[in-house]
Structure 1
Amino acid sequence: MPDRLVISNTSPLLYLHQVGHLELLPRLYGRVQIPSSVQEELRAGAELGVAVPDLSSLEWLQVQPLRDTTLLPVVIDLGSGEAEAIALALAHPGSLLILDDTLGRRIARLNGLTYTGTLGVLVKAKKEGLLPSVSPVIEALRSTTMYLTQTLIEMVLREAGET
């Protein structure tokens, strides 16, 4: 497992939980940090009846308060979870950021951050022998609210060696 700090936004936690593969995060990365706003987003989702992970049962997940809010990117249409996750990654050079949001990923790239997403986690899990195939998991993800284009699915399947 890497020694670097791993920071997740809300969506990877939500989607991996909904398809029954949340355990891949600690198996791949050990401890995972989330900013306070991600914890708040998950709690709000639970109150609305969304299937979210029970954070109190996840010993490998740690809430990391954002100490320096001056690092929060000021971008229209970026949710607080994405903004705080990016700011937390900026405050910890060399960290790995896990997020799916297109705008958030663009901001991460422009700031020189290392990032991956839910699908990248699945490919890494397959390459490390923790998942026999990504294809059935992608099919399960299609039944969630995750936005997946056919082009993206084909690219991920190629990267996973499944086409």
Structure 2
Amino acid sequence: MSEVICDTSPLQYLYQLGLLHIFRALAEHIVVPPAVVHELAAGRDQGVSLPDPAALEWVTVRHPDSAAVLPLITDLGPGETEVLALAPESTDAIAILDDALARQVAAALDIRFRGTLGLLLDAKQAGLVPAVTPLLDQLQALRFRLSSHTREMILNLAGETS
């Protein structure tokens, strides 16, 4: 992956899994919009263990040139909105989003995207993690929403089904 533009939840969950380093291994450039920096700061202020992307030398914080490119969707948070505004500004960007509505909007706008689970599969394929199963267990303990069907599909793709 050349450039990834990341929303809040993938940064949160990979940080909480101790796997934030996989961003650096899988992508040349990691971009985070200011709204994501603010959302993570708000969580840290509430005592949640979250990273500070502005303090990571390998992350670029970038404002979108224009958020007006997006239709008004009131159900999207500021982080998702800015990720979706930034993605079309780069020729080879992949938006990293977990929110279902944000992913639908990305698809409608022809923006390439992945989520936390896709990154875990990429990390396993690249030899960065030995197995996905224990990571899914940890994610679920962290209250990551994961249906049994999606879990089964991810484990199948990871070659970890019995």
TM-score w.r.t. length of structure 1: 0.94
**Counterpart of 2:46?**
48
- Alignment-derived partner of residue 35 in structure 1: 33
1:88 matched residue in structure 2: 86
Q: Secondary structure at the match of 1:6?
A: strand
Partner of 2:12: 14
Q: Which among 132, 136, 139 is matched to residue 137 of structure 2?
A: 139
State the shift of 1:72 in Å: 3.5
Q: After TM superposition, give the deviation of residue 19 of structure 1 in Å.
A: 1.2
Q: Secondary structure of the equivalent of 1:97?
A: strand
The unaligned stretches of length 5 or more in structure 1 are none
TM-score, length-scaled by structure 2 = 0.94
- Write the distance in 1 (CA, Å) between the matches of 2:55 and 2:85: 26
SS in structure 1 of the partner of residue 60 of structure 2: strand
Shift of 1:128: 1.0
Cα distance, 1:144 vs structure 2? 1.0
**Shift in Å, 1:6:** 1.1
C-alpha displacement of 1:74: 1.2
For 2:43, the aligned partner's letter is G
Q: In the alignment, is the contact (CA less than 8 A) between 1:30 and 1:60 conserved in 2? A: no
Which of 108, 111, 115 is residue 109 of structure 2 equivalent to? 111
Cα drift, residue 56 of structure 1: 4.4
Identity among equivalent pairs (%): 40
Report deviation, 1:52: 0.3
Give the CA deviation at 1:108.
0.4
Runs (5+) with no aligned partner, structure 2: none
In the alignment, residue 111 of structure 1 is paired with which amino acid? L
Please give the per-residue CA displacement for 1:23-70, whole angstroms capped at 9, x wherever unaligned: 111111132101110011011111011110133442111101112121
Runs of 4+ in 1 over 6 A off after TM superposition: none
Letter in 2 for 1:80: P
Distance 1:30 1:60 in 2: 9
Match for residue 58 of structure 1 among 56, 59, 81:
56
Asked if the contact 1:71/1:91 (under 8 Å) is kept, the reply is: no
> What CA distance in whole angstroms lies between the structure 2 residues aligned with 1:34 and 1:55?
7
